[in-house]
Amino acid sequence: MSTCATVSRDLDEPISGTAATATTWLLLEQPGPWGANALVSSHLDPFLGRALEAAAQDTGVRVALIRRPGRHADLGSPRLRQVYAAHTVPGRVWLRSATTHDPRQLLDLDFAALGRGDHHTFDRALRGRPHTGGPLALVCTNGKRDRCCALLGRPLAAELAASGVRGAWEVTHLGGHRFSPTLLVLPHGYAYGRAEARAVKEVLHGVQEGRIVVEGCRGSSAWERPGQAAELAVRAATGEDAAEALSVVRTSGGAPRWEVTVAHTDGRHWQVEVAQSHSQPPRPETCGASVLGSPARMDVVAVRELAGTAPAV
């Protein structure tokens, strides 16, 4: 059976610079079935879903629903829901955890503050606290958005959970269906595509040690897509794998060409030239698409270390 994911894989479409962008992720547990736009087409009150979408707009916060892997029969509303918030900008990374009996409490959050990396509003409104477990592995499984997410994502989430990954969750939407199974790892916010369970476990082990695995990585959600590609290119060129060692400090230009400056915590800087082109030949960007598309891709043209930025002693 040909799907958007099999076509993308067969064409060897690059995945760098394709992650969803969000400085902060806000995740609410919502069991049961999900529709294409799960915030307003699930067992969550659609009025609440629309209010959360409106509150998050232009704040850097991305709201998504999560559920434990497994069957998703209608069992009614859960009495207690898990809530997570994660800020992904290097140097200020955190992951907070809370539970709530009433998801309407999320409307008490200051979304602009969350987007800037201030978790105090989360702590006050929901009695949030630092997450003390391992990293979260969020696998997109929403087949109502694209069948690849169900066909490929659900088995991956189930395998992770069955093998003892306590941080495994299904999530409503990470973008890039054609890269299924897609995965987001928190707290650092790096996304992965075409994920397999063994590779995911290596990624999670790396995160526990403060390292980022570059293979299969789509980029960090903290940056816009040119920055995602630039940061991964610097990691590949230097072998740097420390999770919070690199930051995108400047992006100039615009489509189809950018100059991105990537900084290291030791004082080094790189200038990365990133060009946008369109993948050829045309292919289905999602399953069921009525027309073929030529999705944008980020190509790194050059990586140059800037003079006078020697490592600090």
pLDDT digits (tens, 9 = 90+) for 75-124: 666 689 999 999 999 999 999 999 999 999 999 999 999 999 999 999 99
The per-residue pLDDT for range 119-164, each reduced to its tens digit, is 999 999 999 999 999 999 999 998 888 888 888 989 999 999 999 9
Query: pLDDT tens for residues 189-208?
Result: 999 999 999 999 999 999 99
DSSP the chain: ---HHHHHHHTT---TT-PPP-SEEEEEE--S-B-SSTTTSBSS-HHHHHHHHHHHTTTTEEEEEEE-SS--------SSEEEEEEE-STTS-EEEEEEES-GGGGGGS-HHHHHHT--HHHHHHH--EE--SS-EEEEE--TTT-HHIIIIIHHHHHHHHHTT-TTEEEES--S-GGGPSPEEEETTTEEESS--HHHHHHHHHHHHTTB---TTEEEETTS-HHHHHHHHHHHHHH---BTTSEEEEEEEEETTEEEEEEEETTS-EEEEEEEEEE-SS-B-SSTT-SS-B--EEEEEEEEEEPTT-PPP-
Distance between CA atoms of residues 161 and 134, nearest Å: 13
